[in-house]
Amino acid sequence: MKKTIFLSILLFFTFLLSCCIGRYYLSIVDIVHIITDSGNSSAMDINIFFKIRLPRAILVTISGSALALSGFVYQSLFKNPLVSPDVLGVSGGASVGAIVAILFFSGSSVMIQVSSFFCSMFVVFCSMLLAKYMGGKPMYTMVLAGIIMSSLANAIIMSLKYLADPVKHLASIEYWLMGSFNATTWKDVLIVFTISFIATTILFFIKRRLWILALGDHEAQALGVHIRMITTLAILCATVLVSAVVSISGIVSWIGLIVPHIVRVFTGENYLENFTQSILVGGILLLIADTLARTLSASEIPISILTSFMGAIFLVIFLFLRNRSRV
């Protein structure tokens, strides 16, 4: 519990710092003045804080939390720590949707969001349907079905990129595929918040049942857990979380895979607490990545470059720590 409180405080300060840092610097005092409407904040300060920094920081926090929680749920469902939210093809689907919108619907942001959201849900739905008809152990066939659907999605992505106009479209496709929280609006925040809030609440409801699934089907059933209902609900919620995030920001890689590991290594293995801690650490990590993305160079760096980089470093540290503790 103490660790969860510490992480909440850390998230708060990271959030505050993320609001301060940028090409236009706002001090904490400035922010307090803006919020309390005391002192004489300039119109510029107010505009930057309320129209740019605050919505972006909120969206980034929610996105990081959503991706991390989704990763945590997927890893526990599939009993495999190497599973990321991508396992059922959600990113592939989202990418196809976004590229189709960029190529054929003039790339308006609303079209990209709607199209990538529904495409990603559709691909996951196909994976689950395919797994159902393939039979066998559900969790194994689901991973296989996910690989098949991701591969199909990749084939479509590559064909669409091949056909895309290199001058007009290719750059925006590539940019979308690397993700960014640039030009976040309050509308984006509201959409992602609403969807994530619902999905996260449902996951909180079924947290204890999800935890029990790892004991195996019969043990879980004997404890009164509806395996199929809980599994389907968890996959649905975890997928909705990722779909909502990537449809707004583009692909954000690694967060879903790496955060549950970081949480387990640094706060100890305790399922019910790790669940909440993943949400907090996801927010913290993505806030750091996003702050770096918009401050490291003159032009903004796509977020996935940083998250991939951070992910790789964290994975090395994680493996190193794990091996050392075993020796």
- State the residues that interact with another protein by CB under 8 A: 204-206, 208-209, 211-212, 214-219, 221-226, 269-271
CB of 70 to another protein, least distance (A): 20
Closer by beta carbon to another protein, 161 or else 208: 208
Element (H, E) at 183: none
CB of 281 to another protein, least distance (A): 18
Closer by beta carbon to another protein, 174 or else 217: 217
Question: Would you state the structure tokens that stand for residue 243, as one six-digit string?
Answer: 């779909």
Question: Would you state the structure tokens that stand for residue 205, as one six-digit string?
Answer: 């409801």
CB of 305 to another protein, least distance (A): 32
∠ Cα 246 288 303 (to 5°): 35
Closer by beta carbon to another protein, 166 or else 224: 224
CB of 199 to another protein, least distance (A): 15
- Positive or negative, the CA dihedral 242, 16, 292, 185 is positive
DSSP 23: S
Give the integer Cα–Cα distance in Å for 283 and 213: 27
Give the number of other CB atoms < 10 A from CB of residue 21: 15
Closest CA to 175 of 231, 107, 223, 123: 107
CB of 274 to another protein, least distance (A): 10
Closer by beta carbon to another protein, 32 or else 272: 272
Give the integer Cα–Cα distance in Å for 308 and 178: 10
Closer by beta carbon to another protein, 165 or else 269: 269
